[in-house]
Chains A and B, each alone.
Chain A
């Protein structure tokens, strides 16, 4: 897919996210909009996956540890053909396979249940050890949030990832600077996050988290004998001016007027 098409695709995914949240009047727009390019880099460029065979033995595993951003994941999974696009509009509703947080038992293409912060990255780390034990060559990618790194479990898993020399394990941080109660700095400063992961034994790379090429390059950078950390600098609510950098949009659905304004700004139609 050409770069121009992917840029258009990113807008479409953002519009889909907004329609999903608008339809069920619930969910997390800010952190979903901020990680779109991070997920696109994996699903459209780097990861070895097969939408027609979601459980393919040797697939790369992708674990959205910041599970509340699952509307972004679902929009991409539908676009890739894991399930019909019209399912997106059932998000968070009774008997939908699209739960409020990712559920591997219900949704094709979801590799782990996440949403209770810190757990996804730890599960992913376990998958990476298992791959080493099985001498399988797939990689495991975990996407975490910057509020999430306040969970001790993130650091327990980081310590283990370095201990077991997991060069098949990549942690991607959606560093948008905001969490429910406000900025990271205000709520609980996460300090120099690059230095922290470096100290835990990761190969660390910092990129513009909305620059698809830069993310892809970081994902493809070779690493040996240690896990990789990619700090993706992002904007919470990216693509919708009135949501950008506004923590109030962490977990709130748009009204009709707000939805229409957002879609107009993105400049794409949201069909069936």
Chain B
């Protein structure tokens, strides 16, 4: 049985490992080091950890200042406050100048759970996707989170790593490639293609198993990179399967579903549906209950796939 771990724990551990290899890596937080798990880096390298207090905008601009000085800052807070409150700082001080800043932002999506709608970022990918030159990673398991951190450090420019809070099973292997901008086919199939990202990967794999019981062979593709989006893979799978369903723990406006739709429009006659948060805010509840309430389930994905095949 592969290891289960929270992605934020994997993020913190990856930073420590990366920091050991690269002395230019510094980590910043906004009074959430014990939640984003950057506290493990702070313990390992106290002189390279900088807390900015509850001031996300200042942290992002300071990160730009660090990057302009030749350092590689990883700035962490919750996804909502990083991409939302500090949006314009990321836009003008980081993205606009291709500053070499990485933001690993945790507690993304509905899976924050009980904290409720005020803390559940469902539009963060949409905000970051509109910025020219931004790279967006949405890892699906602890292994992929670590690979995303190391890949981010190799990219010269801003990278957003969306880090979910729950403990999840490891579904990739150490040998699974992580090439930025290259989607991974996790399950082959020719009837319908489920394109999923982040925590929706295991849900999509379950959907494929349900469909198999009905004789529908569903492919499942892991979009660990939302930007740049793997257009070649989208068009090839659409052509092969004739039907595409996206699945994401994010609004269907502006996230993976939108990115795939933009590629398909005008280039494919494949049928298409989006599973995600349907233009609504979140609310308090246990993550599993919220996923059920918002249709982020294997049953719903399977139903969407079937309806496209009718």
A interface, over-half SS: helix
* Cβ–Cβ contact A122 & B68, under 8 A: no
Per-position contact with B for A96-113: 1 when CB-CB < 8 Å, else 0?
Answer: 000000011100000111
Segment from B91-99, B106-114, B117-125, B215-223 that makes contact with A: B91-99
* Known A153-B61, A160-B53; contact A127-B69, beta-carbon cutoff 8 A: yes
B61: which A residues are within 8 A, CB to CB? 119, 122-123, 125-126, 153, 157
* Cβ distance A143 to chain B, nearest Cβ, rounded Å: 15
Q: Given A111-B68, A133-B47, A104–B97 Cβ distance below 8 Å?
A: yes
CB neighbours of A134 from chain B (8 A)? 69-71
Whether the pair A113, B96 counts as a contact (CB closer than 8 A) is yes
Report the minimum CB–CB distance from B61 to chain A (whole Å). 3
Task: Report if B168 contacts A (CB, 8 A).
Answer: no
A181 part of interface (Cβ distance < 8 Å): no
A122 engages B65 (CB within 8 Å): yes
B64 within 8 A of A: yes
Asked if B98 and A125 sit within 8 Å, CB to CB, the answer is no
Cα distance A130–B65 in the bound complex, in angstroms: 7
Q: Are B68 and A116 in contact (CB under 8 A)?
A: no
B65→A124 contact, CB < 8 A: yes
A164 contacts across to B, CB distance below 8 A:
50
Interface residues on A, range: 20 to 34
Whether B4 sits at the interface, judged by CB under 8 Å, is no
Given the known interface contacts A129-B62, A153-B61, A156-B55, the answer about A119 and B89 at a Cβ–Cβ threshold of 8 Å is yes
Q: From residue B256, how far is it (CB to closest CB) to chain A in Å?
A: 30
Known: A127-B69, A133-B71, A134-B69. A159 touches B55 (CB 8 A): yes
Q: Does A131 contact B (CB under 8 A)?
A: yes
Structural contact, B98 and A126, CB atoms closer than 8 A? no
B48 within 8 Å of A (CB atoms): yes
For A116-147 the 0/1 string (1 means CB < 8 A from B) is 10110011111111110110000000000000
Which residues does chain B contribute within 8 Å of A128, judged by CB atoms? 65
User: Which residue of chain A lies nearest to B89 when distances are taken between CB atoms in the complex?
Assistant: A119
- Residues of A close to B92: CB separation below 8 A: 113, 115-116, 119
Interface string of A147-167 (1 = CB under 8 A from B): 000001100110110011000
* Any A CB within 8 A of the CB of B88: yes
Chain B contacts of A111 at CB under 8 A?
68
Contact present for A127 and B55 (CB under 8 Å): no
Nearest CB in chain B to that of A164: its residue: B50
Chain A CB count within 10 A is highest, among B53, B55, B58, for B58
Q: Are A126 and B64 also in contact (CB < 8 A) when A134-B69, A153-B58, A157-B58 are?
A: yes
Complex CA–CA separation, A104 to B68 (angstroms): 10
- Inter-chain CA distance A225–B26, complex, in Å, is 23
- Residues on A with C-beta less than 8 A from B63 are 126
Give the distance to chain B from A108, nearest Cβ to Cβ, in Å. Answer: 15
Q: CA of A105 to CA of B133 in the docked complex: distance in angstroms? A: 14
Q: Does B207 have its Cβ within 8 Å of any Cβ on chain A?
A: no
- Contact yes or no, B65 A160, CB < 8 A: no
A129 vs B64: C-alpha distance when bound (angstroms): 12
Residues of B within 8 A of A105 (CB): 97-98
Q: Are B65 and A156 in contact (CB under 8 A)?
A: no
| Chain A residues within 8 Å of B57, by CB | 118, 122, 152-153, 156
A105-B97, A119-B89, A133-B48 are known contacts. Are A126 and B53 too (CB-CB below 8 A)?
no
Establish whether residues B62 and A116, one from each chain, have CB atoms under 8 Å apart when the complex forms: no
> Is A160 within 8 A of B68, CB to CB?
no
A124 to B93, CA, bound (A): 11
B66 proximal to A (CB < 8 A): yes
Assess whether A129 is in contact with B65, with CB atoms less than 8 Å apart.
yes
Q: Is B52 an interface residue (CB 8 A)?
A: yes
Interface string of A28-43 (1 = CB under 8 A from B): 0000000000000000
Question: Which A residues touch B89, using CB under 8 A?
Answer: 119, 122, 153
Residues of A within 8 A of B47 (CB): 133
Contact A127 B58 (CB under 8 A): no
Complex: how many Å from CA A125 to CA B53?
15
Q: Which of A5-37 contact B (CB under 8 A)?
A: none
Roughly how many angstroms separate A131 CA and B58 CA in the complex, as a whole number?
17
A-to-B contact residues, CB < 8 Å: 103-105, 111-113, 115-116, 118-119, 122-131, 133-134, 152-153, 156-157, 159-160, 163-164
Provide a sorted-by-A list of 11 A–B residue pairs whose CB atoms are within 8 angstroms: A105-B98, A111-B68, A113-B97, A122-B62, A129-B50, A129-B62, A129-B66, A130-B65, A133-B26, A153-B58, A153-B61
